[in-house]
Chain A
Amino acid sequence: MVTFDLETADGRLDALRRMQLVREFEETASRLGADGILEFATVHLCLGQEATAVGACAALDDGDDITGTHRGHGHALAKGLDPERMMAELAGRREGLCKGKGGSMHLADTDKGMLGANGVVGSGVPITAGAALANHLDGGDNVSLAFIGDGAVAQGQVHEALNLAATWDLPLIVMIENNGVGEFTLADEQHNIEDLADTAAAYGIPGVTVDGMDVEAVWEAVDEARERAVAGEGPTLVEGKTYRYHGHFEADPEPYREESEVEEVRENRDPIATYRDRLIERGDLTEEGFEELVADVEAEIEAAVEFADAAERPDPEAAYDDMYADPVPEIDELRNPTLL
């Protein structure tokens, strides 16, 4: 069953609220990175990309899995991860989702089907294919979705995994968030095709390119991909054309684009503002209703910041835990060298 049904007014409002939650989380992370509890943190923010994360996850079942990218806060929030424990993880606290061991680039919550953001471009796709294989072997109706950026389409392992999953008809969806720039270089300088979903042809699977600023378009494409996957028809490659409001990371001087370009997109194509307007036009929402939603989300993120701020810092000794399910003696011995 889909997480949010965008064919109903309630589902659409849930999706809008979730996008606003991502927006507020990211703007807060940006602010706290400049001055606050995230000053030491390396974060890659997904401002502008809320519709691809939320549209895709809204079309998934709770029991489905995802993997995210280095720009992964939106993926995690869209999959329903707790903003308090996410913020605590970004702040490197003991109550963080990964006990302060992973940070922004390794956010994970396996109980919620979030098998990890990833610090390496494209590396999540083979892992997600494996999750899809596990789902296939279990014979259930669950699927696995890997988010990747445009840059990952140039990674060999992404194509190895697509070929493997296509050959085995695995219930896999690969969602490309094409924001037009891979790290600090424009996507069209890194790829010889315009629509990256066209690479699907090499694997005999559907490749669908949609407006990634339109949450409903993303939802519909992923919903359809999920139906194929559950029916045993194999993977789908979905590309959402989106836009990144901030740089690759917060200190990026962004020499590859003009500020006016960012302003133009924010003004005319913002995924939250345009969806808000559409829902008001449809009668799903009022101006006041949206203001309440924004205030409600602000309070939720404020609570997340308070939780993270109050959370305990890790005991340094914890650095030696969690290496193995069955620990090795080496680690303790190396920590406590003795002479004969």
Chain B
Amino acid sequence: MSQDTQHRGQETEELTYREAIHDAMVEEMERDDDVFLMGEDVGGFGGVFGASQGMLDQFGEERVRDTPISEAALVGAGAGAAAKGKRPIVEIMFSDFVGIAAEQLLNQTAKMRYMFGGQADVPLTVRMTEGGGTRSAAQHSGTMHTWLAHVPGLKVVAPGTPTAVKGLLKSAIRSNDPVAVFENKMIYGQTEAVPTDPDFTLPLGEASVEREGEDVTVVATQRLLGESLSVAEDLDGDLSVEVIDPRSLYPLDTDTIAESVRKTGRLVVADESWVSYGTHAELVARLSQEAFYDLDAPIQRVGVPDVHVPYAPELEDEVLPDGEDVRDAVERLF
């Protein structure tokens, strides 16, 4: 279902990706007193990229909590508060820092429910910004969504549009499972008409066909979604490109993507993560399982070619995947 069809008839307003995150948090905190936000500089400073501007004034310092620079403590405390019935939103400033909280996320949060035989729900939301393009070098420019999507017990979303991030962040906060929300900071300024209904949510595990096409399917996440849509526009007339935002990485809506690939016979997977052993590989595996006999060409992967994100603009631009890489991949298939 395309987004236009999906939200037709709903009242919308033009929001940036940043504003959509902000509104999602505000609406959920207004709706449910158990929801609170904590993280480094989320209060007085309003979040390092401004997502929680004004929230301290609106909700006060009990529910918008500036924390010490202690990712392990924040995620662990989020899990503990969640196990007691709260719905914490924990912000980790950059996903590159998630390793500091890895023990609490991978070994505690993800396993608590299972190890306890289903006794404890852990309705924790962990938000992380990620992605390259800010000339900040390797420790502030990576993506870690693939890493967390590998860990059972967590759910992982990486929405590519303002509508998707609003709907999925709200669902994450309402979910009784721990959900990691990955926000690409380079698309914080992108705008879109987003539903204003405070009960608007999007289900975890549902992909969105953002543009319909006949000749090739491009599954693109985060920043690469918008760039792939531009490529599709440019190629229009020569090639008809279908573009899908998976939105959720785990659970992953294989059916929507498989249906598309059965139609087009060709697939490009574009995700800003290291190419080896990752999100691309998972999509390749699932689609070779679901649409093997419908594929007319090998599946193409567009990502970061197994190097770190360097500092100098010439170097960073070289390694970050972009529309040109998507276009090259599409053209390789014909």
Chain A interfacial positions (CB closer than 8 Å to B): 65, 96-102, 106, 108-110, 115-116, 118, 120, 123, 125-135, 137, 144, 156-157, 160-161, 163-164, 167-168, 321-326, 328-331, 337, 340
A322 B83 Cβ-Cβ under 8 A: no
CB distance from A175 to the nearest CB of B (A): 16
A126 B80 Cβ-Cβ under 8 A: yes
CA distance A102 to B62 in the complex (A): 34
CA distance A126 to B71 in the complex (A): 10
CA distance A282 to B255 in the complex (A): 74
Please tell me if B142 contacts chain A, counting CB pairs below 8 Å. no
Contact digits for B95-120, partner A, Cβ 8 Å, 1 yes 0 no: 00000000110011000111111111
User: 9 closest pairs, A vs B, by CB?
Assistant: A126-B76, A130-B80, A130-B77, A325-B176, A99-B117, A160-B73, A134-B84, A98-B117, A322-B118
B76 contacts across to A, CB distance below 8 A: 123, 125-127, 129-130, 157, 161
B293 contacts across to A, CB distance below 8 A: 340
- Point out the residue from B73, B115, B155 that lies within 8 Å of A108, measured CB to CB: B115
A328 B251 Cβ-Cβ under 8 A: yes
A164-B70, A328-B205 known; A157-B104 Cβ under 8 A: yes
Cross-chain pairs A/B with CB under 8 angstroms, 13 sampled? A65-B84, A106-B116, A130-B81, A131-B81, A133-B80, A134-B86, A157-B72, A157-B76, A157-B103, A161-B73, A163-B68, A322-B117, A325-B121
Contact digits for B62-97, partner A, Cβ 8 Å, 1 yes 0 no: 110101101011111111111111101000000000
A125 contacts across to B, CB distance below 8 A: 76
- Point out the residue from A101, A116, A160, A328 that lies within 8 Å of B68, measured CB to CB: A160
B176 contacts across to A, CB distance below 8 A: 325-326
B70 A160 Cβ-Cβ under 8 A: yes
A130 B79 Cβ-Cβ under 8 A: yes
A144 contacts across to B, CB distance below 8 A: 80
Residue among A106, A109, A133, A323 with the highest chain B CB neighbour number at 10 A: A133
B120 A108 Cβ-Cβ under 8 A: yes
A98 contacts across to B, CB distance below 8 A: 115-117, 119
Please tell me if B152 contacts chain A, counting CB pairs below 8 Å. yes
Task: Report how many residues on chain B are interfacial, defined by Cβ distance under 8 Å.
Answer: 53
CA distance A167 to B38 in the complex (A): 14
CB distance from B316 to the nearest CB of A (A): 32
A133 contacts across to B, CB distance below 8 A: 77, 80-81, 86
CA distance A249 to B107 in the complex (A): 22
Contact residues of B between 119 and 161, Cβ < 8 Å to A? 119-121, 123, 152-153, 155
CA distance A291 to B88 in the complex (A): 51
B78 contacts across to A, CB distance below 8 A: 130
A126-B73, A130-B78, A156-B72 known; A120-B103 Cβ under 8 A: yes
CB distance from A108 to the nearest CB of B (A): 4
CB distance from A262 to the nearest CB of B (A): 32
B117 A97 Cβ-Cβ under 8 A: yes
CB distance from B103 to the nearest CB of A (A): 6
Closest Cβ neighbor of A117 among chain B residues: B115
CB distance from B64 to the nearest CB of A (A): 12
- Point out the residue from A100, A109, A130, A163 that lies within 8 Å of B70, measured CB to CB: A163
- Point out the residue from A109, A130, A324 that lies within 8 Å of B84, measured CB to CB: A130
B177 contacts across to A, CB distance below 8 A: 324-326
Contact digits for B15-32, partner A, Cβ 8 Å, 1 yes 0 no: 000000000000000000
B224 contacts across to A, CB distance below 8 A: none
B119 contacts across to A, CB distance below 8 A: 98, 108-110
Closest Cβ neighbor of A115 among chain B residues: B83
